[in-house]
Amino acid sequence: MQADSLLVKGSREENIKGLAVQTFGAQFADVEVDTLTGNVRVKKVVAAHDIGRVLNRQTLENQFHGGIMQGLGMALMEERIMDYDYGKMLNANFHDYKIPTMMDTPEIEVIIVGEMDEQANNMGVKGIGEPAMIPTPGAIGNAIYNAIGVRIKSLPITPDKIINALNNN
């Protein structure tokens, strides 16, 4: 039995000279901070982005959810711990290197701003993979600042950093 095959060839036109195609967005986070333990719970993230034409709404929202969860991990838990004397990462496994789980997932609201961008390309689409992740740590950091009145300037924003910031304020 011979397997069916599919041969596809694709191309795209050059970018328009003198024009930068950009994806723009803004995000907002609602958090709860326990000032006794320093624990943070992200309750909701609202993400509004201009991403051009939407080809598949479900896939688009999945990209948002994945990017926002990556940003949440960067903001609150992902931290590489190194033994610089030996050049060894001390938390090189999923037991010690913390990443978000389903229990950490907040409510996520996706707002699409804009429509097909005819100058972007022949499909009028822009990317959303990384743009969904990039503003998330800042949104969460600002929400924590609004909750406790102290700005923490390094990631991840861990419970010990919150307690130290509150005690030194």
The secondary structure of residue 53, as a DSSP letter, is S
Tell which residue, 153, 91, 122, has the closest CA to residue 21: 122
| CATH no. for 24-145 | 3.30.365.10
**3-class state of residue 17 by DSSP:** coil
Cβ pair 97, 156 in contact under 8 A? no
pLDDT digits (tens, 9 = 90+) for 119-142: 777 788 887 878 999 999 999 999
Break the chain into its structural domains and give their ranges.
Answer: 24-145
Residues of the chain with pLDDT under 70: 1-2
Tell me if residue 130 is catalytic: yes
Beta bridge partners, 129, equal: none
pLDDT digits (tens, 9 = 90+) for 15-40: 778 877 778 899 999 999 999 999 99
Cβ pair 49, 23 in contact under 8 A? yes
Q: What span, in angstroms and rounded, lies between the C-alpha atoms of 75 and 137?
A: 5
pLDDT at 153: 95
pLDDT at 128: 83
- The active-site residue, picked from 32, 107, 109, 130, is 130
pLDDT at 2: 66
